[in-house]
Amino acid sequence: MAVTILVVEDEHAIQELIALNLKKAGHIVLCADDAEQAKKMVNNVLPDLILLDWMLPDTSGVEFARKLRREERTKAIPIIMLTARVQESDKIAGLEAGADDYVTKPFSPRELLARIKAVLRRRLPEMSDDVIESGGLKLDPATHRVHVQAGDESSKPVEIALGPTEFRLLHFLMAYKERVHTRAQLLDRVWGDHVFIEDRTVDVHIRRLRKILEAVGKENLVQTVRGTGYRFSVEHQEEHAE
């Protein structure tokens, strides 16, 4: 699945090489030469992942990572540090600053892409192309298809037709099954944090999603948690969807 990646690297040759390989892999790439420029970009568009060079001209990548982790809006962005430093103490410093992974230079494009995929799978499972199966539903992000197992296991799965927003919503909820999400969290993660729409928009799409799932008897998988938000659960189906 294509994700938006911010590359913060002051060496233009390295920056261009990384950007080229990320674009070839189907990702959307933003580039910044220093922390100040990166901060402005993050304020405009929240990236899905940041590749952050340790040595930057205005401030260190480690200090910038700390700043990102201190702010509510940016604290959950996965960060991969890029550096020529190989000492164990340096790696520990990067990880303690909030980095999710640490890649030492020189590195191959294949290694970097593999590290990115691993971090996204761990930190942002809704960004992964991995198939998710739960509660009799099978969701394939790569093909944008959802199937339900109707009847016994010998019967053929039935495809469920979902609109793009309902698909993203179901994908997110299934990726974090059993976890409760507020309307604001769903707006940020499914619609994007710079989309200015009302919280009640989430309710409308939840109702649409349940209506579609009702046709195959799976509407109770998407549940309302009173006073909090919504969750996908196979363990609390005695609680009726509202």
* Residue 95 confidence (pLDDT): 81
Distance of alpha carbon 232 from alpha carbon 109, whole angstroms? 36
Structure confidence by residue, pLDDT tens digits, 7-57? 999 999 999 999 999 999 989 899 999 999 999 999 888 888 999 998 898
Burial of 110 (0-12, 13-18, 19+ CB in 10 A): exposed
Residue 196 has pLDDT above 80, yes or no: no
195 pLDDT tier (thresholds 50, 70, 90): low
Whole-structure pTM value: 0.66
Q: Give 49's strand partners.
A: 5
Distance of alpha carbon 45 from alpha carbon 90, whole angstroms? 30
Burial of 104 (0-12, 13-18, 19+ CB in 10 A): middle
Pick from 127-141, 142-156, 203-217: least confident: 142-156
Q: Does residue 79 sit in helix, strand or coil?
A: strand
Domain 127-232 part of CATH 1.10.10.10: yes
- In three-state form (DSSP H/G/I as H, E/B as E, the rest C), the secondary structure along 41-73 is HHHHCCCCEEEEECCCCCCCHHHHHHHHHHCCC
Of 150, 148, 129, nearest to 140 by C-alpha is 129
For residue 223, the number of C-alpha atoms closer than 13 Å in the C-beta half-sphere is: 19
* Residue 21 confidence (pLDDT): 95
**Contact call for residues 10 and 31 (beta carbons, < 8 A):** no
The pair of three-digit structure tokens given for residue 163, joined into one six-digit string: 């609109």
Mean pLDDT to the nearest integer, 163-186: 90
Please report, rounded to a whole number, the percentage of residues in the chain having pLDDT higher than 90: 52
Question: Could you tell me where in the chain the CATH 3.40.50.2300 domains are found?
Answer: 3-123
**Contact call for residues 25 and 1 (beta carbons, < 8 A):** no
Sign of the Cα pseudo-torsion (71, 74, 78, 84, in order): negative
Distance of alpha carbon 13 from alpha carbon 22, whole angstroms? 14
Mean pLDDT to the nearest integer, 177-199: 78
Question: Could you tell me where in the chain the CATH 1.10.10.10 domains are found?
Answer: 127-232
Structure confidence by residue, pLDDT tens digits, 178-187? 889 888 888 8
211 pLDDT tier (thresholds 50, 70, 90): very high
* Residue 131 confidence (pLDDT): 92
Q: Does residue 137 sit in helix, strand or coil?
A: strand
Reply yes or no: is the peptide bond before residue 47 cis, omega within 30 of 0. Answer: no
Average pLDDT of the residues of the chain: 87
Mean pLDDT to the nearest integer, 77-90: 84
Q: How far is CA 212 from CA 77, 159, 160, in A?
A: 32, 11, 8
* Residue 49 confidence (pLDDT): 94
Residue 78 has pLDDT above 60, yes or no: yes
Distance of alpha carbon 137 from alpha carbon 117, whole angstroms? 24
Please report, rounded to a whole number, the percentage of residues in the chain having pLDDT higher than 70: 92
Structure confidence by residue, pLDDT tens digits, 226-238? 888 999 998 765 4
**Domain at 3-123: CATH code:** 3.40.50.2300
Residue 106 has pLDDT above 80, yes or no: yes
* Residue 240 confidence (pLDDT): 47
